[in-house]
Amino acid sequence: TSSTTIKGVSVLGATGSIGTSTLDVIARHPDRYRVHALTAHRSREALYRQCLTHRPDVAVLGTPTDADWLATQLKEAGLATEVRHGEAALAEVASAPEAEVVMAAIVGAAGLLPTLAAVRAGKRVLLANKEALVMSGALFMKAVEQNGAALLPIDSEHNAIFQCLPGQHRGGLGRHGVTQLLLTASGGPFRGFDAERLARVTPDEACAHPNWSMGRKISVDSATLMNKGLELIEACWLFDARPEQIQVVVHPQSVIHSMAAYSDGSVLAQLGNPDMRTPIAYGLAWPERIEAGVEALDLFQVARLDFEPADEAAFPCLRLAREAMDEGGLQPAVLNAANEVAVEAFLDGRLGFTEIPRLVEAVRAGAPGGGADDLEAVLAADHDARARARAWLEAL
Ligand code: NAD
Ligand code: MG
């Protein structure tokens, strides 16, 4: 069986929240997986410690200075790990023959090119980096088809939906009797807040998520509900769905990770404790199942499951994302770029929380139209939207 051969894994964004959880699962199964490459942007100490534990063939950092530092440290520690730096190195470890599996866990648009490199090399791609798919959905999915890549969604909602759909779900939801996808949302740390209270929230409050522990960018996205908006776009591409076939359901306990509704009235849900090691283990082993280190779900302790609609008046980002997907073309790429700039400014204390959607809406309004069929157009739209977002910030 497949479990008798050890698979090489490249972990892009190894030092992050998803990367760390991925290495935790991999370490539980030395009979199945070995680490080919680990990458990080600036966290050289964290990457050094991971190299000591997981002994990768290659390690990649953002700058030559950090790469030199790491190479010296690893040599002193007696490791043969090759250390490289920069974007070309990321694409190389994502497409190397030694890696059958690639975990795409870089945050933001920076993950697009290395993730696409893995897709083009026909890898099993564990997709955590939702921004890559949001930016380039059409060409990304085309590249998956053309290169025979296996795309496994790691975002917990999409992983749940994947588990609730029939094995061959491509070709439109209707063909398989699916009437709706129910995308659950925790509502974030500010659920129930009105605009006045939201205007005063701080970055640290935004990053203290009630159910999930995540990187700072996605934590802010969860607080604005932009994360749910990006996930709506992500679901459209992954499952061949139209935005109106997806309903967002706020479910504060984060125990149901999403659902699929069928024409006979059945609704299938995937449940579990909110721990990303479950979808990561699923993606690694699919179609098999492996132990993930996650505690069994205790329904008596959960006691109840609540559901409510999302408050799109207080949290306009969800609407902005839906509109961007409805318009199509380059609009999702523009939305994503403007949001990345806005979130960074909020985290730096240069922008108020309720100004995040204002900035995104302003950048969207001035965006050029056009199709997103080629990578150059997507990268140009991303670049242009960032420039206009920075100009908007300067004019504040
Ligand atoms: P994080 O901030 O904890 O980690 C990001 C990783 O990417 C780090 O290893 C960092 O060194 C690397 N990185 C950052 N900027 C880079 C750049 N410019 N070039 C190369 N590498 C860079 O983020 P995270 O929470 O682990 O999220 C990673 C991705 O997974 C995001 O796209 C996020 O939306 C998605 N995701 C995360 C979770 C979660 O629970 N954390 C859940 C679902 C989806
Ligand atoms: Mg999610």
CATH classification at residue 201 = 1.10.1740.10
pLDDT at 372: 87
| Spatial separation of the C-alpha atoms in residues 246 and 250, rounded to whole Å | 13
Q: Are residues 102 and 183 in the same domain?
A: no
130 lines ligand 1 (CB under 6 A): yes
Which pLDDT score is estimated for 292? 98
Residues 184, 258, single domain; the answer is yes
What's the 238 CA to ligand 1 centre distance in angstroms? 20
Range of 119's domain?
A: 2-154
- Of ligand 1's listed atoms, the one at least distance from the Cα of 217 is 2
Q: In whole angstroms, what is the distance from residue 330 CA to residue 347 CA?
A: 26
Establish whether 231 is an annotated binding residue.
yes
85 is in an annotated binding site: no
Whole-Å CA distances, 343 to 263, 348, 351: 40, 9, 8
Consult the annotation and say whether 154 binds a ligand: no
Cα 146 to ligand 1 centroid, rounded to whole Å: 27
Q: CATH number for the domain including 61?
A: 3.40.50.720
CA–CA distance, 270 with 272 (Å, rounded to integer): 7
For 333, how many CA atoms within 13 A lie in the half-sphere containing its CB?
30
Residue 106 marked as a ligand binder: no
The rounded distance, in Å, linking the Cα atoms of 193 and 49 is 41
Do 81 and 181 belong to one domain? Answer: no
Q: Are residues 147 and 104 in the same domain?
A: yes
Residue type, 90: L
- Ligand 2 centroid, distance to 231 Cα (angstroms): 7
Q: Is the CB of 129 under 6 A from ligand 1?
A: yes
Instruction: Say how many Å lie between the CA of residue 77 and the centre of ligand 2.
Output: 38
First-last CA distance in the chain: 60
Choosing from 102, 135, 154, the residue where a domain stops is 154
Residues 107 and 47 in one domain: yes
Q: Rounded distance, CA 30 to CA 50, Å?
A: 15
| 339 assigned binding-site residue | no
This prediction has a pTM of: 0.97
149 lies in the same domain as 185: no
Same domain membership, residue 187 and residue 141: no
* Contact 19 CB / ligand 1 (< 6 Å): yes
151, β-bridge pairs? 125
Q: Is 219 annotated as a binding residue?
A: no
Amino acid at 134: V
| Chain centre distance of CA 377 | 22
Q: Tokens standing for 52? A: 């000591």
Q: Are residues 323 and 183 in the same domain?
A: yes
DSSP string, 311-355: -TTT-THHHHHHHHHHH-TTHHHHHHHHHHHHHHHHHTTSS-TTH
Q: DSSP letters of 121-183?
A: TT-EEEE--HHHHHHHHHHHHHHHHHHT-EEEE-SHHHHHHHHHS-S---S-GGGGTEEEEEE
Give the 3-state secondary structure of residue 189: coil
- Total domains in the chain come to 2
Based on the domain organization, do 148 and 198 belong to the same domain? no
State which amino acid sits at residue 162: F
Ligand 1 within 6 A of CB of 23: no
Give the DSSP H or E segment for 53: helix 44-54
Q: How far is the CA of 105 from the centre of ligand 1 (A)?
A: 5
Cβ neighbours of residue 198 under 8 Å, at least 6 residues apart? 190, 314, 353, 354
What does the pLDDT read at residue 68? 98
Query: Which residue's CA lies nearest to atom 2 of ligand 1?
Result: 215
- The answer to whether residues 388 and 366 touch, using CB atoms and an 8 Å cutoff, is yes
Does the C-beta of 18 come closer than 6 Å to ligand 1? yes
CB 203 within 8 A of CB 220: yes
Check: CB of residue 245 under 8 Å from CB of residue 160.
no
13 CA from centroid of ligand 1 (Å) = 6
- Please indicate, yes or no, whether residues 215 and 68 belong to a single structural domain of this protein: no
Same-domain check for residues 17 and 120: yes
**Residue at token pair 């490459």:** 37
Per-residue pLDDT of the chain (396 residues; tens, 9 = 90+): 454 699 999 999 999 999 999 999 999 999 999 999 999 999 999 999 999 999 999 999 999 999 999 999 999 999 999 999 999 999 999 999 999 999 999 999 999 999 999 999 999 999 999 999 999 999 999 999 999 999 999 999 999 999 999 976 667 788 889 999 999 999 999 999 999 999 999 999 999 988 888 999 999 999 999 999 999 999 999 999 999 999 999 999 999 999 999 999 999 999 999 999 999 999 999 999 999 999 999 999 999 999 999 999 999 999 999 999 999 999 999 999 999 999 999 999 999 999 999 999 999 998 888 888 899 999 999 999 999 999 999 999
**Last residue in a domain, options 154, 188, 206:** 154
Q: Are residues 325 and 385 in the same domain?
A: yes
